[in-house]
C-alpha cells in the first residue's frame, strides 16, 4: 500500500459553473479557470471553453453559448494556467437559465 508521500497529488476539482458566473459578472476581465499539468491539457480546456463542448450524456457546459467566452493559457512552473473571459451578452437565455438553476428558481 503506498504511503501518502508516494500517492500522486491530484489537483482540486474546478467548479466551471462558478468560474463562468465570475466571468459573466466581470465581463471582459480574465478569470483564472485552473492550473493543468501540461500545456496539452490546458490547450484542450481552452478549446472546450471556446466551443462550449460537452461529452455525450454529460451535464451541459458552463460556457454556453459557444463563442460567448474567450480562453487562453500560459505556462507556469507547474504546468499551464487557463484563463477565460466572457465576451457575450449578459442578457442571453443561457445565462438566465444558469442563474435559475444555481439559485433554485429564486431570483
Give the separation between CA 72 and CA 65, rounded to whole angstroms: 18
pTM of the predicted protein model: 0.71
Q: Widest CA span of the chain, in angstroms?
A: 53
- Write the pLDDT tens digit of every residue in 68-103: 999 999 999 989 999 999 998 655 556 566 666 666
Amino acid 107: pLDDT: 45
Instruction: With respect to residue 104, please indicate whether it lies within any of the assigned structural domains.
Output: no
Which of 6-15, 58-67, 84-93 tops mean pLDDT? 58-67
Do 62 and 45 form a contact (C-beta atoms < 8 A)?
no
**Which DSSP category does 96 fall into?**
H
Number of domains in the chain: 1
Instruction: With respect to residue 84, please indicate whether it lies within any of the assigned structural domains.
Output: yes
Provide the residue count of the chain: 107
Instruction: With respect to residue 7, please indicate whether it lies within any of the assigned structural domains.
Output: no
Nearest by Cα to 61 from 69, 70, 52: 52
Domain span including residue 52:
16-94
- If one compares 24 and 8, the residue with the highest pLDDT of the two is 24
- Write the pLDDT tens digit of every residue in 36-53: 999 999 999 999 999 998
Instruction: With respect to residue 5, please indicate whether it lies within any of the assigned structural domains.
Output: no
Q: Which residue reads 487557463 in cell numbers?
A: 82
Instruction: With respect to residue 43, please indicate whether it lies within any of the assigned structural domains.
Output: yes
Amino acid at each position: 500500500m503506498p504511503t501518502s508521500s508516494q500517492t500522486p497529488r491530484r489537483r482540486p476539482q474546478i467548479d466551471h459553473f462558478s468560474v463562468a458566473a465570475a466571468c459573466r459578472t466581470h465581463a471582459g476581465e480574465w478569470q483564472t479557470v485552473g492550473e493543468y499539468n501540461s500545456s496539452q491539457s490546458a490547450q484542450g480546456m481552452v478549446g472546450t471553453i471556446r466551443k462550449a463542448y460537452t461529452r455525450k450524456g454529460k451535464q451541459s457546459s458552463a460556457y454556453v453559448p459557444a463563442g460567448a467566452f474567450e480562453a487562453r493559457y500560459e505556462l507556469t512552473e507547474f504546468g499551464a494556467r487557463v484563463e477565460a473571459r466572457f465576451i457575450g451578452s449578459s442578457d442571453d437565455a443561457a445565462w438566465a437559465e444558469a442563474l435559475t438553476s444555481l439559485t433554485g428558481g429564486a431570483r
